[in-house]
Homo-oligomer: A and B are copies of this chain.
Amino acid sequence: MSILGHNEPCIPLFCLAARQMAYTYTHPRPALTVDCVVFGFDAQTTLQVLLIQRKLTPYQGEWALPGGFVRLAESLEAAARRELREETGVEDVFLEQLYTFGQPDRDPRDRVVSVAYYALISLAGHPLQARTDAQDTAWFALDAVPPLAFDHHQILQAAIARLRGKVRYEPIGFELLPEKFTLTQLQKLYETILDQPLDKRNFRNKLLRMDLLVALDETQTGVAHRAARLYKFEPQRYEQLKQQGFNFEL
């Protein structure tokens, strides 16, 4: 646990650290962290964010985005993935850089610049994760997010805006669904993210016309009504179409 309250085992790389000492005098450096906005979706509930409760001051006891210091020998994305794994158990997810936040006063103690990432995962896949036992990690529906530490509320808003924008012209929505899903689940996902109702027939026609989904020979199970057909998104098919000038758009 670091002095700044982020979770990082202390394994300094001595040669790099020594080399840096000389430079530090001429150029005092901001601290560098990564923070992750993890979105989870489940057609039974809604779109949620993963938060952790801070154990250290400042903002002790408040909720915050998972994140921590960047090590000297790892890339920014690697740092984000490591923090995500260490703090929340989340692994192997869609992860993309969002924006870098660097207002001088965003951390009350020291200058800390943070590179924010956002991640997308299916809650149906990993239902509430192994970490739910830990009292300090929890999912919050987007309309019930508690006050957040630092400028994390601003980061969250930026992530929502990015997701809303990007989901319309890149097929990233599928990252929030299990591998096999129904068209109704997909529609509910889009309605939730875009915050507007969509017409069922138009939605289905449009998506199927794109030729990105393969219909499986399977149906939903465990529902108290007619079981819906399951579909799968084909990333390779998308790459192929994209090279032929196809543009995903919804």
A interface list, Cβ under 8 A from B = 2-4, 8, 10, 12-13, 16-17, 19-32, 69-70, 72-76, 97, 99-100, 102-104, 110-111, 113, 115
Contacts and interface: CB of A to CB of B under 8 A. Distances in A.
Which of A25, A26, A29, A110 has the most B CB atoms < 10 Å from its CB? A29
A28 B3 contact: no
Given A72-B30, A73-B104, A75-B102, A24 B23 contact: no
Given A10-B26, A75-B104, A97-B99, 15 more contacts: A2-B26, A3-B26, A4-B23, A4-B27, A12-B26, A12-B27, A17-B28, A20-B28, A24-B29, A27-B69, A29-B30, A32-B32, A72-B111, A73-B104, A76-B100
B21 A24 contact: yes
4 tightest A-B contacts by CB? Answer: A17-B28, A76-B102, A29-B29, A100-B100
A76 B24 contact: no
A70 B28 contact: no
